[in-house]
Amino acid sequence: MRDPNEQMQASWNANAEAWTRTVREGRIESRKVATDAAILGALSARPKRRLLDLGCGEGWLARELSALGFAVTGTDGSAPLVRAAQALGGGTFRTLTYEEIAGRPDLLQGPYAEIVCNFSLLGAELGALLQALRANLTADGRLYIQTLHPHAVTGGEPYRDGWRMETFAGMGESFPEPMPWYFRTVSSWVAALTRAGFQVTGLDEPVHPQSGRVLSLLLTAAPVNDTPRAAG
């Protein structure tokens, strides 16, 4: 069987065009009704300093955050997605895989006051990447991770970490390759952040405004050597 991490990365190249159309045409309902506003709302009150959009994809969030006044750098492991982002501008975009960043944190050219991972941490190994992010964060900086809420996806499966498969069904678009992604429990997210030297300072759970169904988990974290404070 193919390594799911490699398969995941390959899927973002194979699916780059379909994904770019899907995002730009606003065809993911959860994003339109809740999760786009959640990540923008979390950042909008912060001072407008250097911001890293890690796993920026085709760049919609970078463009929005640039419009708010942040100095945005976007990175993504998929070269075709980075080219799509560069075509519309709104930031400095570079192709960098998470493996490259984990091995050479200086490639990110930090420090940043904000690092945002919006539905972009999809692999099984997080530790070295999170440590690299921490090394690129200012002492008063914040890391924002928005991800699928485990509550929204477990169905009848056991509540534990493991690989799942996204087929992109129902997105009104043909995706050439399914994407393996690594399911994490809430406690697993918190533990991974704690191990990497972060302190969780916020935990939000955006819901569907009509159904009340929980759609995402939005974690805010601060580097632990920061001055203690009540909230991020």
- Give contact residues for a second copy (rule: CB under 8 A): 150-151, 154, 157-160, 185-187, 190-191, 194, 197, 199-205, 207, 211-214, 224-231
> Rounded to 5 degrees, what are φ and ψ at 8?
-60, -50
Q: Work out how close the CB of 24 gets to a second copy at its nearest, in angstroms, rounded to a whole number.
A: 29
User: For a second copy, which is the closer residue by CB, 90 or 232?
Assistant: 232
Residue among 71 and 186 whose Cβ is closer to a second copy: 186
Using an 8 Å Cβ cutoff, are 121 and 145 in contact? Answer: yes
- The burial class, CB within 10 Å (0-12 / 13-18 / 19+), for 17 is middle
CB atoms within 10 A of CB 171: 18
Amino acid at 48: K
CA distance 173 to 210: 25
What is the closest distance, in whole angstroms, from the C-beta atom of residue 154 to a second copy in the complex? 7
- Minimum Å gap between C-beta 121 and a second copy is 17
CB of 192 to a second copy, least distance (A): 11
Output 174 or 225, the one with its CB closest to a second copy.
225
**Of 61 and 192, CB closest to a second copy:** 192
Q: Give min distance, CB of 211 to a second copy, in A.
A: 7
Rank residues 18 and 186 by Cβ distance to a second copy and give the closer one: 186
Min CB(224)–a second copy separation in Å = 5
Query: Residues of 121-152 as b/e, b for ≥16 C-beta within 10 angstroms?
Result: bbbbebeebbbbbbebbbeebbbbbbbbbbeb
Burial of 199 (0-12, 13-18, 19+ CB in 10 A): middle
Q: Which is nearer to a second copy, 90 or 206 (CB)?
A: 206
Rounded to 5 degrees, φ, ψ at 187 are -65, -30
**Which of 164, 69, 153 has its CA nearest to residue 123?**
164
